[in-house]
Amino acid sequence: MNPLLTKFDTAPFSKIKNEHFKPAFLKAMEDARSEIDVITSNTVAPTFENTIEALEFSGQQLDRISSVFFNLNAAETNEEIQKIAQEVSPLLSEFSNDITLNEDLFQRVKKVYDQREGLNLNTEQQTLLDKKYKNFSRNGANLSAEKKKKLRQIDAELSKLKLKFGENILAETNKYQMYLSNEEDLDGLPDGEKEAAAQRAREKGKDTGWMITLDYPSYIPFMKYAKNRKLRRELSLVFGSKGFHGDELDNQENVLKIAKLRYSRAKLLGYKTHAHFVLEERMAETPEKVHSFLNELLEKAKPAAEREFAQLENFAKKIDEIDRLEKWDGSYYSEKLKQELFSLDDEQLKPYFKLENVIDGVFKVAEKLFGLRFEEVKDIDTYHDEVKTYRVYDLENNFISIFYADFHPRAGKRGGAWMTSFKSQWKEGGQNIRPHISNVCNFTPSTPTKPSLLTFNEVTTLFHEFGHGLHGMLANTTYPSLSGTSVYWDFVELPSQVMENWCYEKEALELFAKHYESGEVIPMELVHKIKESATFQEGMQTLRQLSFGLLDMSWHGTDPSDVTDVKAYETQAFKGTNLYPDTLETCMSTSFAHIFQGGYSSGYYSYKWAEVLDADAFAYFKENGIFNQEIAAKFKEHVLSKGGTENPMVLYKRFRGAEPKVEALLERAGLLQN
C-alpha cells in the first residue's frame, strides 16, 4: 500500500520511499480530476456550495502529497527526488491549467460570481468567491483555444526551469570546499569557528586541517573574522558567482528564459509586464507604486549609506592601509568597526544564545503574548533525526498545531531559512482541522566542545521564521486556501518581521539569553549595546535591500525580450545603489533564488514594505508594553488568525486603528535626520 495514498494525519515519513511519489501524484491528480468532473456534471444550477466550496475542498490529497514532496525537495533532497521533481512539476502545472482552463468549470464559477450581490455571503465567503473567479480570469479562462495551448506550454516550461535553477544553486553550494592545512590561514577566526571548521574537515574525510564551505554557518564567520584578505576574496568571488561559470551548472540562460517566459505569459493574459500581473493582487497594486516606495526609501537611505561607506573605507585604510574597500572586505571591517564603536561582537553574545535556550525563549514570548504552550514529543514521524517535533496547546489545553523544527545545514538542504506547512488549517463539519507547521533553518551546529551557539543574526532569523510559524499555527479560517500565510505577498512578512523586535528588548532577552555554562542572564550592558548597535550601518543595509528590490523590478517590470547579457543588465539595474566596486566575476541574478525559484518575483520589495508595517505595529506595542495582553490579542485576532480572508490593509487598520506610517521605519532605522 502506498502510504501517501492512505488517509494520514501527520506525514508518514518513515514509510515513504522515493518510488511512492510519482504513482501517488498520478493517482491523486486522477482523483482530483474526478472531483472536478462531479462539479461540472452537476445538473443542479451552480451555487456557492455546490461549485465554489466544492472546488475549494477538491484535491486535498494531492495538496498533502505535494506539501510532503516539495518540502523534502527543499530540506532533504537527493538526485532521485530532484529527478522526480523534474518529472512531476510539468504534470502539476498541466493539472493546474486543466482546472483554470476548464470552460465548463469556469462558466459555473462565473454564474455564481455574477449573482454575488444577492447571495448574502459573509466576508470570508465573498473573498473566496472573488479569489476563485480571479484564479480563472487571471490565468487564461477567457483566452482563445490557441492562446490557452500557448499558456500551457509556457507554464510547463517555467516549472522545469525554476526547479533547474534551484538544483544548480544547491549543486554549486555543495561542490565548493576550501580546504586549509595551514592554521595561519584561520587567523582572526574565534576558537569556536576553528573547531567547527576542523569538524567539517573530518566529516568530509580529512584527517587534519580545516574546511570552509559556502553554507552560511561556515561562509559568514570566515568573511567576518578571517584576516587573510586573499582567502576572503576567493571565498567571496565563489559565493557571488554561483550559477555564473558558463558550465553545466550555469544559470544565465535559465534567468533569461524565466524572465522572458514570464513576460510572454503576462502579455498573453493582457498585462503590460509580469510585475503588472503580480501586483494586481498585492497591497502595492502597481509597479509605479513599488518604484515610488523604493525610491522614497532610497532618497532617505542613500546619503546615510554613503556616509557609512566612507567611514568604513577610511577605517579600513587606517588600520590596514588597503587601497580601496572591496566586497570581500565589508563584513570583516564592519565587524571591527562595530567592535570599536560599541565594544560588541558576536563572540561576546554567542555564549548567551545557546540554540535550545533561544527556542525556549521564542516559546516563552509566544506564551506571554498569545497564550501558547509547546510540548516536545518523540512520537511524530520526521524526515531526518535532527528534526524536533512539538504539539502546541493554548492555556485551556486546546490543541492548536503540530510544529516541526529543523535547524542545521546538510548536503540535501538548500540554504537560507523558511517556514512551510505540511497541512493547512480549515473548518469542516463543525470541526476545526488544525495545521502542521515547519521552520527550516541553517544555523551554526554544535561541536565536540560547544553546543550550538547562535550569532545574534541567527537569533533574529529564528524569531523571524517563528513569526511566520505563528501565522500558520494560529490560523482560524473556514477555507484552507485563505488560511495562515495565504495572504498578499507584501503582507506575509509582517508577522515574521514584527517578531524580530522582541530580540532587542531587555524584558524578552531576560527570558532566554542565559550563559550556556554559568546560567548568568545577559548583562544589561550587553543588552544596551545590542540596542545601541541596532541601527549600525542601517543606511548600507537598507540600500542593499533596495538594490535587490530594484533588480527584481528590473527583470519583471519591463520587457526583457532584448536582454542577452545577464551581467550587463544587472549592472545597469544596480547603478543607483552601488557602493562597492563591481566585480566582473560575480553575478547576483544567477543565484537570486527568491525571485527565480521562490515566490518573490515582482515581490522582493515586500520585505521593506512589511518593515514599514512591522515598525508601526511594534511602536504600538512599545507605547503600551511589549507584552501588553490587549494589543497581543488584537494582533492575534486581526492579523495572525485571519489569514487572507480580508484585504490586509483593512485587517491592519482594525489592529492598529490607522494606516501604517513610513516614519516609524525611518525613525527606527535612524534615517529621519537625513
Strands 431-433 and 426-428: antiparallel
Pull the grid cell for residue 597.
Answer: 525559484
- The answer to whether the Cα torsion of 646, 652, 653, 658 is positive or negative is negative
Pull the grid cell for residue 247.
Answer: 558550465
Please indicate whether residue 659 is annotated as part of the active site: no
Question: Where does 591-647 have alpha helices with state H?
Answer: 593-596, 606-624, 629-635
112: amino acid identity, one letter: V
Count Cα neighbours of 233 within 13 Å in the Cβ-side half-sphere: 7
- DSSP-derived 3-state class of residue 403: strand
Residue 673 to residue 671: CA distance in whole angstroms: 6
The angle, 0 to 180 degrees and rounded to 10, between the axes of the packed helices 18-40 and 103-114 is 60
Residues 473, 392 contacting (CB under 8 angstroms): yes
Q: Which residues of 108-117 are buried (b: 16+ CB within 10 A; e: fewer)?
A: bbbebbeeee
Q: What is the DSSP code (8-state) at residue 53?
A: I
- Residue 161 burial (10 A CB sphere; 0-12, 13-18, 19+): buried
Residue 124 to residue 474: CA distance in whole angstroms: 17
What's the Cα-to-Cα distance from 23 to each of 4, 17, 28, 33, 368, rounded to whole Å? 9, 11, 8, 15, 46
Residues 582, 571 contacting (CB under 8 angstroms): yes
Residue from 243, 258, 265 nearest 176 by CA: 243
* Catalytic-labelled residue, pool 56, 465, 505, 611: 465
- DSSP-derived 3-state class of residue 619: helix
Cα angle value 49/54/60 (rounded, 5°): 145
179 DSSP β-pair partners: 211
419 DSSP β-pair partners: 439
Pull the grid cell for residue 154.
Answer: 509556457
The angle, 0 to 180 degrees and rounded to 10, between the axes of the packed helices 216-225 and 229-240 is 140
375 DSSP β-pair partners: 391
CA torsion 500-506-507-513 (nearest 10°) is: 80
- Catalytic residue ranges: 465
